[in-house]
Amino acid sequence: MDFLNAIILLLNYIFIPALTYGSQLALGAIFVTLIYGILRFANFATGDMMSFGTMATILFTWYFQSLGVSLGVLPTALLAIPFGIIFMILYMLLIDKFVFKYYRHQKSPPVQFAMVSIGVMFVTQAVVRIIIGPSDRRFFDGEKFIIKAREFKEMTGLNEGLALKSTQVITIFVTIVLVSLLFWFLNRTKTGKSMKAYSDNEDLALLSGIDPKKIVLVTWVIAGILATIGGALYGLDKSFKPFTYFNNMLPIFAAAIVGGIGNPFGAFLGGYVIAFSEILLTYAYKKFFIYVLPESMEPEGLVQLLSTDYKFAVSFSILVIVLLYRPSGIFKGKVL
């Protein structure tokens, strides 16, 4: 019984939250990696683009709510996401046309691109804050829990409860569907394959008649879908605040690089690596050991490796270590 309790404890406090957080990071990391692989720059506007997409989703959610449209137990935001995606893609294409296109034609070095993306970051941040304001917003509606901790305890008779939030299930489900679709697209369709070819060797791809304009367009479309869904899922699960989204850029970068930048599958796994290590290293295992160990060996302290304040620092340290020992990432990067 104690053993079961311990497992439920870990599931409830480590496994499910980490899986959810990891999925959100993974979507952002694939976005970063796609831009890096095909447009060849580190996009510092990542977090703010995600907040733009989320903002559009929230505005549509409010609109639908005012119309009285709802999905019953599911959050209305799911209905608003497609519209949010359209706005996000339009915004990205606009920015690409007025900003990035020029430097692409100039064949500027990646550093210059990164600087330009900082300019885009400032502008996007301003746009988001001017339109929706800097404050914390929750836009979740519908049923909050699938299983409540108390119900679970009554059902199973265990001491530990397992709470399953509907946003967690939605996040994991949507991520799996979206990522499978994406990999199917990249590996099986002609456009996807030409994207890979373009990322692998630009000149060769151009020689074989691949249209760079189309590649760039498709890349931004996919990026828009990933950014909006990733951002909206994060916002649904936690809350929407422009500043948090800007900060999320850092673990997302860490996930993309740990997985091997330019490699979408690596980025996908990288998201989970970062999320799990953040939560595993900062969780206090006291209760777990109380369940598992005999009474005489019960720990006195919290048995916490690092205090939760260092949550972000953990992922950054992992990144720094990976960069130093294996700059190409855990799964060799550089090729889509």
Partner 1 sequence: MRKNLNVIAAYSIMMVLILMVGIFQSWNIALSIFNLCLISAVMTMGANIQWGYAGLINFGIMGYTALGGLAAVLISVDPVQEAWRAGGFDILMALWLIVVMVLVIRFILKRFEKSKIRTYSIAAIIISGILLIRFSAEPGIEAIEAVDPAKTGFLGGFGLPIVFSWIVGALFAGGLAFIVGKVALGLRADYLAIATLLISEIVIAIIKHEDWLTRGVKNVIGLKRPAPYEVDLQTTDWFIKLVEKFNSGKLSVIENLADRQAALNQLVIEGSSVFVKLCYSGLFLVVVIILLILTQKALYSPWGRMMRAIRDNEEAANAMGKNVVKQHLLIFILGSAIVGIAGAMLVTQDGLFTPGSYRPMRYTFLIWVMVIVGGSGNNFGAILGGFVVWFLWIEAAPISLFLINFFTAGIPETNTLKAHLIESVPYFRFLLMGLGLLFIMRYRPKGILPEKIEIK
| Cβ at position 144, least distance to partner 1 in Å | 31
- Told to check if 82 binds partner 1 by CB under 8 A, we report no
How many residues in the shown chain lie near partner 1 by CB under 8 A?
45
Residue 153: which residues within 8 A CB-CB, separation 6 or more?
A: 159, 160, 161
Does 135 sit near partner 1 (CB under 8 A)?
Answer: no
Contact characters 27-56, partner 1, x per CB under 8 A: --------------xx--------------
- CA nearest to 182, candidates 37, 30, 334: 30
CA distance 227 to 244: 15
Spatial CA neighbour of 236 closest among 82, 44, 26, 24: 24
Tell which one of 138, 327, 332, 335 touches partner 1 (CB under 8 A): 327
DSSP 39-62: I-S--TTHHHHHHHHHHHHHHHHH
CB of 114 to partner 1, least distance (A): 5
Q: Please name the residues in contact with 185: beta carbons below 8 A apart, sequence gap of 6 or more.
A: 191, 192, 222
Q: Which of 59, 206, 250, 290 binds partner 1 (CB under 8 A)?
A: 250
Cβ-Cβ contacts under 8 Å for 147 (sequence gap 6 or more):
162, 163, 164
Could you say whether residue 307 binds partner 1 (CB under 8 A)?
Answer: yes
Q: Nearer to partner 1 by C-beta: 193 or 311?
A: 311
The region of 5-13, 75-83, 268-276, 300-308 touching partner 1 under the rule CB under 8 A is 300-308
Looking at the Cβ atoms of 41 and 139, the one nearer to partner 1 is: 41
- In whole angstroms, the minimum distance from the beta carbon of 324 to partner 1 comes to 6
Which positions ≥6 away from 218 have C-beta within 8 Å?
Answer: 191, 195
> Which two tokens mark 247?
């900060």
Q: Closer CB to partner 1, residue 135 or residue 189? A: 135
Q: How far is the CB of 123 from partner 1 (least distance, A)?
A: 3
Q: How far is the CB of 310 from partner 1 (least distance, A)?
A: 6
Q: How far is the CB of 334 from partner 1 (least distance, A)?
A: 11
* DSSP per-residue codes, 176-227: HHHHHHHHHHHHHSHHHHHHHHHHH-HHHHHHTT--HHHHHHHHHHHHHHHH
Cα torsion angle, 278, 15, 171, 74, sign = negative
Question: What are all long-range contacts of 320-327, with beta carbons under 8 Å and residues at least 24 apart?
Answer: 322/257, 322/258, 323/257
Residue 110, H or E segment: helix 110-132
Of the pair 185, 310, the CB lying nearest partner 1 is at: 310
Cβ 106 to partner 1 shortest distance, Å: 10
Determine the Cα–Cα distance for residues 252 and 255; give it in Å rounded to an integer. 5
Q: How far is the CB of 104 from partner 1 (least distance, A)?
A: 13
Q: What character string, x for contact with partner 1 (CB under 8 A) and - otherwise, covers 220-249?
A: --------------------------x---
CA dist., res. 90 & res. 71, Å (int) = 26
Output the smallest distance, CB 93 to partner 1, in A: 16
CA dihedral 169, 173, 174, 177 (to 10 degrees): 180
Nearest CB to partner 1, comparing residues 12 and 108: 108
Give the residue with the Cβ less far from partner 1, 4 or 114: 114
- What residues from 95 to 134 belong to the interface with partner 1 (CB under 8 A)? 99, 102, 109-112, 114-116, 118-127, 129-130, 133-134
Q: Where do contacts with partner 1 occur on this chain (CB under 8 A)?
A: 41-42, 99, 102, 109-112, 114-116, 118-127, 129-130, 133-134, 246, 250, 253-254, 257, 301, 305, 307, 309-310, 312-313, 316-317, 319-320, 323-325, 327
